[in-house]
Every structure is written in structure tokens, then in C-alpha cells.
Structure 1
Amino acid sequence: MEVLGHRGSRVPGPENTVEAVDAALRVGADGVEVDVRRSADGDLVCVHDARLSRPAGRAVVRQTTVALRARGIPLLDEILDVWDGRGRLICEIKNQPGQPDFDAPREQTARRLAETLRARGWTGRRPDAADLDAGAGGITVSSFDWFAIEAVRDADLAVTTAFLTMPRMSVSGGLAYARSAGHTELHVHTSAVLGTSDAAGRAREAGIRLITWTVTSLEDARRIRDAGVTGAICDDPMEIHQALSRPDGTPTTALDA
């Protein structure tokens, strides 16, 4: 099972930073996931929340790039640089109804992301599930917003796309859309996988790679692995990677180091 760092690596963190991405990849994670929004200047930045805690409630999309970087929020370009092709990089486009930067179906963030990846040379043949199964790595763009991933899918880039679903959406429904729209992966909540009979088998039948979010404990990691899913997005990728790599399933301790 692929072990992927959540927001780079929430443990040790800080999440969605160059340091978090590098830390996850250095300890053996198969890749990382980061959140992508845009600043008031139209630059792509990596931050989860649509609004900053300080100043209270100030929207990311209404902050300049300079102001956001002063708060420790990196540019996506900085994340791409530190990732540097090590394993997989999942860029989740944040574009949800009710948030200040929601703009479906215009999809400014998705289109800006496509421009950024094209400028960095991510053109050519689009990888498929077999490439990822073979450990090809590369970039995957995911979102709850299907307009966003369809915009990237249609941009003729050498990247894959993934449909990200809320816990309440059925695995079957997600698979049906992902297959019909030509997406490579379905990213579903752990509760949906554990609550669905043979979710991994259904995904294999549909030709879709199944990734779960977010694994926060070793117990859940083992249950997800035993369910046969392709990969898991984890808050602490180091702990999960070490535990699943050892014959007895236990994490490395200080005495082992």
C-alpha cells in the first residue's frame, strides 16, 4: 500500500510547508499531498484553510503573495522544487461552495495550476493506472470539485487526475463518475472504504486506483491495508511507513535507531 503524507506531513509538520514535504519523503513516504489555493495576485500557494486565523477571518484569496509568504505559506513552485520528482505529488485544488475563493465553473485555480505545470515541462503522454502501479510517481491533481479536475484533465498535461469525495458519497457513485470522466484515481474517506463491502475489488473492476484519506492511526492503517486499497494519505507518514514495513507491523522505536 502506498503511504502518502497528508498536507506534506502534519506530523511533524508544520503542514503544507517545504519542510513537511521534505520530511515525509526523507523517511520513505511514497509521496505527499498538498493543498492549493490562489493569492490576491493570482499566485498559487499551499494552504488548507480558506481564511487565515490572523487577522481573524481574512480570506487567503484577498491576501497578497508577499503577505502570505510572510506568514510562512509557501508558493506551489517552492513545493514543486523541494519535491523534485521524489515519488508522487498530489495537488489538491481547494474550491468548495461557500468559501471566498470558490469560482466553479470558471476554475481560475485549476487553470493557473495547468499553466504552471505546462511551464515547468509537465507535457506529453498522460500516465495511466499501470504507470502508477509500476511506481512511476509524478503529479496527480485532485479536488472535490469535478470541474477543476476536468479542466486539468483537458489541458494535455503529463499528469493524472483524481476525484476526491466527501464521506457521505458512496464508493460506487465515486467510481462511476471517475470511470466515465477518465480519471485515474478515486480518493475516498476511510469511513467510506471500511463501510463498503469489497471497496477495493469494486475499484479494480472499474480500473480505478483507490486512495483513502485521512489515516490518523496505526489501527486504521492496518485495516485499510487489509481492505486492499492502493494507498493511504496519512497525517504521520513516517510512523505508518515504518509500521507497515516491519514484519510485526510495529513502528521503529528509539532503541531500533
Structure 2
Amino acid sequence: MEVVAHRGASADIAEHTLGAYLEALEVGADAVECDVRLSADGHLVCVHDRDLRRTAGAPGKVSTMELSDLAELDFASWKKPWSDLDDEAPDLDPALGGVLTLRNLLATVAEYHRPVELAIETKHPTRYGGLVEKRLVETLREFGWAGKESPVRVMSFSHTALLRMQRLAPDLRLVQLVEKAHHWPMLRPIVPRDWIIGPGIKQLNLHPGLGEHLVREQRRMHVWTVNTEKNLRYCQELGVEAVISDKPGTMLRLLGRK
């Protein structure tokens, strides 16, 4: 079973920062996961929310700000708001806690000393629509990662976005994320058999029939966000291929790999 670091090692270090991803690589994560949004000047940045209040403590939306403006913000301090009062707390490195571009994350993974996969989620709805996928494919091609041998798979809750990805880069692996169990009957007839299905662990627990149905249909599953031993064991029983976790080190230890 593959262990995927959800927004990096985000249980311990602020999500989507370079520090969180370096920690995930250090503990041995098989893959890292990120969300991408477009800045106003066309850069893909790793940020989950549309606005910046939660992770940067600032007003405004990612889509209305240029990369230079985003680079002025602190994306790390919110995780440990009292650290400045702790004399023993290490100083935060701005390079590890600023806005992270997708290109920087890809370069970090490409230069790492062992193979690491990436699960990239395109966020929708967005004011830029299909430009997000277009920019993503352009960036992946720069790294030679838009073909069959790519370590990248693309995920989205938007079926339309994944169809767009299929047209732009037909050899990439795709993951149809499923937000609610009752969405699956509508998605089932239109999701190709070779796509991976990505249900959330909460929905699998609330609606066991969803997992049982996916198993019967021999659908490949990547499940988010798995942070406890109980949920990890349940995923093992279902034959899940990958678990996406805020605690990649813990999951690896529970699997006997650390």
C-alpha cells in the first residue's frame, strides 16, 4: 500500500509549505499530495483554500494576487501561533514557510535521492476554469512528466476537469475524487474503468456499501484522509492501493515500514 503525504507532513508542519514536504520525504512517504490554484499572473501555487485567511492570515483570494504578492506572506506561522513566545522553539526559516509554487515542488521531488510520486489535485470551481489544467500540463511537460512514465497522477472532484486532463495528456493517470457516497451512482456510468476512484475515509465509514461496491467492481481506490490505525486497517481490508494521510510517518510505522 502506498503512503501519500497529504499536503506534506501536514499534521506536524504547516500544509503546502516546503518544510512540510521535506519532512514527508524524510520520513519515507512514497508520494506527496498537493492542491494547485492559479495566481493572477498565471503561476500554479500549492494552496488549498480559495482565500488566504486560514493559512496566511491575510485578506484576499489566491486568484486575485500575483506571485510576488503571495511571496510576501507567511504560510507557516498559523500552525504554531504561540511559537514566538517559546524561547526554545527553533526560528522559522522563511524559505520553508512561504508560498510554494508547483514548479518548486516538482523540482524538489525530481532532485530527491529516491523515486517519489506526486498526486496533484486541481481545485474547482475557479475563475480560470480550464486554464488550470492547461498550465498544469505545460509545467509537467517541462519536467518530462506528461507521458506514460510520469510519477504524477492528477486528481479532482470535477469530472469535467479530469476529462480535460485526459484530452491534454491522455497518458497520465487520473483519480476521480468522490466527496459524498450518494454521488457515486451518478459518477459510476461516466467514470472510465481505468480511472482510479478516490473516496474519503469518512464516507467509507458512514456508508460501508460504497467500499463494498467499489471492491465488487474491482475499482482501484486511493482513500483520503487516513490518519488512524483503525482506518488504515479498514483500507487494507478493502484492498486500497494508496492512503493519503496527514501523518505519513505514523502510517508507515503501522505498516511495518519504519
Give the TM-score band, short-chain normalised. Answer: 0.7 to 0.9
Unaligned segments of structure 1, at least 5 residues: 128-136, 247-251, 253-257
Residues 65 and 204 from structure 1, CA distance in 2 versus in 1: closer, same or farther, beyond 3 angstroms?
Answer: farther
CA distance in 2, matches of 1:103, 1:176: 28
Normalised TM-score (structure 2):
0.79
State whether structure 2 residue 242 is matched by structure 1 residue 231.
yes
Deviation larger for 37-46 or 55-64: 55-64
In structure 2, the partner of 1:24 is 24
Q: Summarize the Cα distance change of 1:62–1:3 in structure 2 as closer, same or farther, 3 Å threshold.
A: same
| Cα deviation code 1:73-108 (max 9, x no counterpart) | 111000001111732100100113xxxx3444xx11
Provide the residue aligned with 1:60 in structure 2: 62
Structure 1 residue 114: Cα displacement: 1.0
Aligned-partner residue type, residue 115 of structure 2? R
In the TM superposition, residue 229 of structure 1 has moved relative to its aligned partner by 1.4
What's the CA shift for 1:219?
2.2
Is 1:219 aligned with 2:242? no
2:179 is equivalent to residue 166 of structure 1: yes
| Secondary structure of the structure 1 residue equivalent to 2:32 | strand
- Cα 1:212/1:58, change in 2 over 3 Å: same
Distance 2:251 2:120 in 1: 21
Residues 38 and 128, structure 2, Cα contact 8 Å, conserved in 1 = no
| 1:73 to 2:133 alignment | no
Q: CA RMSD in A?
A: 2.4
Q: TM-score, normalised by structure 1?
A: 0.79
Residue 153, structure 1, aligned to residue 166, structure 2: yes
Q: 5+ unaligned residues in a row in structure 2: which ranges? A: 74-97
Q: How far apart in 2 are the matches of 1:123 and 1:2?
A: 21
Which residue matches 2:109?
A: 83
Whole-angstrom distance in 2 between the partners of 1:158 and 1:78: 23
SS at match of 2:225: strand
> What aligned pairs does 1:128-207 form with structure 2 within 5 A after superposition?
138-156=151-169, 158-171=171-184, 173-179=186-192, 183-194=194-205, 195-197=207-209, 199=211, 202-203=214-215, 205-206=217-218
Letter in 1 for 2:214: R
1:146-171 CA-partner distances (Å, limit 9, x unpaired): 22221111113542111111134454
In structure 2, relative to structure 1, the CA distance for the partners of 1:2 and 1:74 (3 Å cut) is: same
Deviations 1:118-164 (CA, angstroms, capped at 9, x unpaired): 2222244x36xxxxxxxxx7100111112222111111354211111
Indicate how the Cα distance of structure 1 residues 183 and 145 shifts in structure 2: closer, same or farther if over 3 A, else same.
farther
Identity of aligned residues (%): 30
1:121 and 2:144 matched: yes
2:197 counterpart SS class: strand
Letter of the structure 1 residue corresponding to residue 43 of structure 2 = D
Per-residue deviation, 1:26: 2.1
